[in-house]
Amino acid sequence: MPTTAVLCDPPHEGVVLSELAATTSLSKAEAADLYAAMCADTLRAVEASASELLVNYRSDEDLPEERSGEDADDAESAVRALADAALDDPEAARYEVQVGSTFAARMGNTVSHLLDTEEAGSVAVIEPTVPFLTRSALDGMAMKLRRSDVVLGPTSEGRVHYAGFASPIDFEDADAPPAIETLTDRAHDAGHEVDFGPMAPVIETREDLIGALSLIRARRRAGREIPARTAACLDDLGVELVEDESGLALSKPNTDSD
């Protein structure tokens, strides 16, 4: 069975989606709520797929110093509570602490450990900022990993929303922008064949959020599936799209447009 590792941070203020909070009218608390909603949608998609779900969380020592108050739950408790609320069968998920000082190092340690030590057939790494990811897309990319050593899911600005490996690569700085090219080059350097999955939006920046809101509105009108928890959170936050002289912008009640 393939393994899909979701690299989660605890949804604490000041820890997650800091760029989004800094560039939009979302507060740090609201950004943390949005992160938690996206995480729930992402975990549910992996749970519904044919992959084993591994929830990887950062240790408290590796998190930014800014936290949501002295009473903030520790990282493991916060991530487990989020997963318990999101999953149909929380006991079926595995939980492990991430190891590494950078995202590339954490990705590499997770993949190498599972491939080499636990002899997993393939390992995919995703972050919980890809709420539009579906069970069928995950299963399709897992199938491609039976034929190719590396499968990448592209998103905007040269980033990736999914990185799957049936064989290891050199992971040092492997997420250097544009990550889609860096990971492909590393795979080729290791003599691996590379394939690609479907495009999927991530929500990490102001521009990402504008695109995601537009897609949610369009899919609702068309009667198509949407990431339920993410959409509900954005509804609760009152985030809307408006047009201004520069194009599309974000708006919230009782706040100025961004």
User: Sorting pLDDT into bands at 50, 70 and 90, what band is 144?
Assistant: very high
d(CA 253, CA 258): 12
For residue 56, pLDDT over 80 is answered with yes
Closest CA to 133 of 83, 223, 201: 201
Give residue 240's pLDDT: 84
The answer as to whether 42 is a domain residue is yes
User: Sorting pLDDT into bands at 50, 70 and 90, what band is 66?
Assistant: low
Closest CA to 205 of 138, 133, 155: 155
CATH number for the domain that contains residue 168? 3.90.550.10
The answer as to whether 209 is a domain residue is no
The answer as to whether 53 is a domain residue is yes
Q: pTM of the prediction?
A: 0.91
Residue given tokens 């939980």 in the structure block: 95
d(CA 39, CA 33): 10
What's the whole-number mean pLDDT along residues 91-115? Answer: 93
Question: What separation in angstroms does the CA of 61 have from each of 74, 75, 207?
Answer: 10, 9, 31
Lowest-pLDDT choice from 23-32, 52-61, 207-216, 235-244: 235-244
The answer as to whether 15 is a domain residue is yes
What's the whole-number mean pLDDT along residues 148-166? Answer: 97
The answer as to whether 67 is a domain residue is yes
Give residue 247's pLDDT: 67
User: Sorting pLDDT into bands at 50, 70 and 90, what band is 71?
Assistant: very low
Structure tokens at 163: 């990185």
User: Sorting pLDDT into bands at 50, 70 and 90, what band is 46?
Assistant: very high
Q: What are phi and psi of 133, to 5 degrees?
A: -65, 135
> Which residues are 162's β-sheet partners?
153
The answer as to whether 229 is a domain residue is no
Question: What separation in angstroms does the CA of 86 have from each of 42, 221, 228?
Answer: 9, 26, 11
The answer as to whether 47 is a domain residue is yes
Contacts of 115 (CB under 8 A, 6+ apart): 122, 123, 165, 166, 167, 168
For residue 244, pLDDT over 80 is answered with no
Residue given tokens 């990887």 in the structure block: 56
Total domains present in the chain: 1
Lowest-pLDDT choice from 68-72, 99-103, 164-168: 68-72
Q: Kindly report the average pLDDT of the chain as a whole number.
A: 91
The answer as to whether 213 is a domain residue is no
Give residue 250's pLDDT: 76
The per-residue pLDDT for range 158-200, each reduced to its tens digit, is 999 999 999 999 999 999 999 999 999 999 999 999 999 999 9
Identify each DSSP E strand in 51-118 by its residue range: 52-57, 94-97
User: Sorting pLDDT into bands at 50, 70 and 90, what band is 16?
Assistant: very high
d(CA 135, CA 77): 26
Interior CA angle at 93 toward 87 and 94, to 5°?
150
What is the C-alpha end-to-end distance of the chain, expressed in Å? Answer: 45
Domain that holds residue 101: 2-204
For residue 101, pLDDT over 50 is answered with yes
Provide the percentage of residues in the chain whose pLDDT is more than 90: 78
- The number of beta carbons lying within 10 Å of the beta carbon of residue 61 is 6
